[in-house]
Structure 1
Amino acid sequence: MHSIRRRELLAATAGLAAAAIAPGAAQAQTRWQVATAYPDGNFHTRNLREFTDAAQAASGGLLQIQVHSNASLLRMPEIKRGVQTGQVQIGEILLSAYGNEDPFFEVDSVPMLVTSTAMARKLADLQKPYVEARLNRQGLSLLYWVPWPPSGLYTNTPVDNVDALRGTKMRTFNALTNRFATLCGATPTLVQQAEVPQAFATGVVNAMVTSAATGVDVQSWDFCKYFTPIGFTRTKNAIFVRQRDLAALPAAVQASIRAAAAAAEERGWAMSDSETVSQQAILAQRGMTVAAASPALMQGLMRIGATQAEEWVAKAGDEGKRLIESYRAAVA
């Protein structure tokens, strides 16, 4: 039934962009579809719905936007391509999951490069022109992006140092977490968020590094005993629109969408910081042990992060070197 429903939804969205483009039809209502892989309770999805509601209201009835959450229309690996081909008009992705496509999509996933909100904002400001240029070449336009709360280690035994991770089967979600697991001596396995509970239940993985928000989403207390906050990264979700569809709207509506996106970005950053506290509290309330990382663990993580930063610069070339140098100068 799910696959049939999904095919029906995809068929229904096909051609919507073309139908909305003609200048003569500018006063007719335009229907947009939005695809995200995250569940309705996640703060990213709540923020996305606020954004689409605001954009819809500001259009004066010209734009109707429907959000398809929890990968109900497209799975996360399909979303970016789905926007490029016009299956949907707006998509939300974990940008670093596309690091194999371009290293500038994944710089915020270099472990221990960013360990505070202030540092995350500096990196985002410097990273944005590079990302926007790359998306523009693909017919996409960045609307806004919002970071996840800082990550922690989910395990069933205490982690006092990096060696405690050796031999674990670690869930990863992009190329850099894959490399991180390898450098820890763990076996990396790529698992999408919606599939995490099953992966733990079947023994495919027995450890992961991700935010407390994701831990709550997947009810990690059902399969993990310990959450150790480590900072690690502030990876960002990117929300983008197909340029052709945006350009087809009246200029005033385009401006209202941009304004709603700017508000969503500011709101989302604040929500991310709030989630850092509230979601860790939920993990503790559900019986998980939430304990500060030991100095030995943090030292080991910083060594791995330095190695991965060097590897990222080697992959990203001169532009990547300039970005990292500018960032380090800004946070010094």
Structure 2
Amino acid sequence: MLKLTSALLIGGLVSTACLAEKWHMPTPYGDGNLPTQIDYAFAKEIKAKTNGELEIVVHSGGSLVKHTEIPRSVKTGQVQIGDIFMGILGNQNPVFKHDNIPFLATSFDQAQALWAAAKPEIEKALDKDGMKLLYAVPWPAQSLYTRNPVNSLADLEGEKMRAYSPSTSRLADLMGTIPTTIQVPDIPQAFSTGIIQAMVTSPSTGVDSQAWDYVNNYTDIKAWIPKDIVIVNKRAFRRLDKNIQDIVLAAAKNAETEGWKRIVERAAKDKATLAENGMTISEPSAELTTQLEAIGKTMETEWTAEAPKEIGRILTRYHQELGQ
């Protein structure tokens, strides 16, 4: 009887172990960035609340899959889940560009309203590609990094500017600069070798790449507030038991809430770090602001023309959210 009981116990343990599932989650950014930190907390919550039945292993900093390959890897099921900068999908569908349009949403309140307006279109687009949206985490507002002070676009003419999405490439064109695609890990080398001379990015990316080593000026243009999104392969999600699905969705809701809560403090902290390391922090001149706002209007018009119906719905909902 003892042998039988032991055999049944061992069999039960093996059976439970076989039911446990492990997902791999590539992310493009290092452990110091807020989206990655939120991803770790998300994975930790799921493992705890499922008693280890679902474990999500976070592979940060592009260590498992390069950033641009993460969407395809999730879509094809090579990995079950991934974190991406949403703007990199802009060439696939223009709805993914909504948070890369300069001066459309420049405060966190506006950015949240824009996300609420765009989310239904984002979910539809991902669903068609076999993916499901779980949550979004914002970045601080994107501002201008340069070696020399910039009072107008004439001060940047002909310089090579970092681009990281279709929208930032177009922005660089309209600013009279030369767009050059550079991912975050390559920023320091790109500046030191002259591949780029300027960039528009968040204070967090500036701190992460130690921008003070290669540029002197940070002009706080607050051009837009982009987001990372976490996406999951639909088939992988559907294979989960219903109670596990519910835990994942609840953890995703918590992750998004925490991301929007922490970003305000993180933006202020990172901007202060830039100043502490010797960078000159300045507000944009009236001339530069006027020039950049005109570019924003141009890009919004071009964006709307790409998909009038879908983008029209986003803009209508956005202005309703703002009470306009």
Out of 101, 108, 113, the residue aligned to residue 104 of structure 2 is 113
Gaps of 5+ in 1: 1-23
Residue 68 of structure 2 corresponds to 77
Distance 1:159 1:211 in 2: 17
Which residue number in structure 1 is paired with residue 125 of structure 2?
A: 134
Verify the 8 A CA contact 1:149 1:272 in the aligned structure 2. yes
Aligned-pair distance for 1:27?
A: 6.5
Q: Within the alignment, does 1:255 sit opposite 2:217 as a pair?
A: no
Q: CA deviation at 1:319?
A: 2.0
After superposition, the CA RMSD in angstroms is 1.4
Task: State the secondary structure of the residue aligned to 1:209.
Answer: strand
Letter in 2 for 1:215: G
Superposed displacement of residue 56, structure 1: 1.1
Corresponding residue of 2:56: 65
Describe the superposition over 1:96-119 as per-residue Cα deviations: whole angstroms up to 9, x where unpaired: 111000000111101111111111
Separation of aligned partners in 2, 1:295 and 1:57:
52
Summarize deviations over 1:230-254 as a string: whole Å, max 9, x none. 1111111010111111111111111
Q: Deviations over 1:151-209 (max 9, x none)?
A: 11000111112222212110011111111111111111111111111111110100000
- Residue number in structure 2 paired with 1:6: none
Other structure's SS at 2:215 match: coil
Residue in structure 2 matched with residue 208 of structure 1 by the alignment = 199
Please give the TM-score of this superposition, normalised by the length of structure 2: 0.92
Higher Cα Rg, which structure: 2
Kept in 2, the 8 Å contact 1:115–1:231? The answer is: yes
Q: 1:274 matched to which residue of 2?
A: 265
Whichever residue aligns with residue 93 of structure 1, its letter is I
**What aligned pairs does 1:8-19 form with structure 2 within 5 A after superposition?**
none
CA distance in 2, matches of 1:79, 1:271: 25
Specify the alignment match of 1:314 in structure 2. Answer: 305
CA distance in 2, matches of 1:59, 1:25: 12
Structure 2: tracts of 5 or more residues without a match: 1-14
**Distance of 2:18 and 2:132 partners within structure 1:** 23
Is residue 117–residue 321 contact of structure 2 (8 Å, CA) maintained in 1? Answer: no
Aligned mate of 2:33, from 31, 37, 42: 42
Indicate if the aligned counterparts of 2:172 and 2:178 stay in contact, CA closer than 8 A.
Answer: yes
Residue 147 of structure 1 and its aligned partner are, at CA, apart by 1.3
Equivalent runs, 1:1-332 vs 2, <5 Å: 28-331=19-322, 332=324
2:11 is matched with none
Over 4 Å off, 4+ runs: 24-27
Identity of aligned residues (%): 39
Cα distance in 1 for residues equivalent to 2:16 and 2:37: 31
